[in-house]
Amino acid sequence: MNGAVYLESLTDNNGVQYVNVPADHPYQLVQMGFSYEEALELHQKALNQRRLKRQTGQKQGLLEQARQHIGPLQDAVDLNMATEQEIHALNAWKAYRVALHRLDPSEGEITWPEVPRG
């Protein structure tokens, strides 16, 4: 990379949104009222917000998947109808759900726990 920061749009502290438009040099930000360092900071904030949104959505989806598996298995246990395999699967899915709940999507890249088999 040649030291350039590529932004499609950004919003300043006053809520004014700037967008990239075709120019002599594509992706060139001209006289927008902030320094290169400030642009880098804005870019990093945007990347962090995108990652947070993605990871929060993924966490919610995985929690929903765990909930769907736990429900019928818990019913079998509650009704004294569960097999040993179902009891083992229930414990694995519950441990997985606890591990997911302990993850904080705002703390950088997440190492997701392994999804239980079965």
Residue 93 is predicted with a pLDDT of 99
What ranges do the domains of the chain cover? 9-101
Mean pLDDT, contiguous 10-residue spans, the chain (118 residues): 58 74 56 71 89 97 98 98 98 98 95 92
Residue 3 is predicted with a pLDDT of 55
User: Could you tell me how many helices (H) and strands (E) the chain has, helices first?
Assistant: 2, 2
Does residue 38 come out as left (phi exceeding 0), alpha (psi in the -120 to 50 range) or beta?
A: alpha
Residue 85 is predicted with a pLDDT of 98
The rounded Cα 113 to chain-centroid distance in angstroms is: 14
Percentages helix, strand, coil for the chain, rounded to the nearest 5? 50, 5, 45
How many Cβ atoms sit within 10 Å of the Cβ of residue 73? 21
* CB distance 117 to 96 below 8 Å: no
In angstroms, the CA 53 to CA 43 distance is 15
Can you read off the two tokens belonging to residue 96? Answer: 């997985």
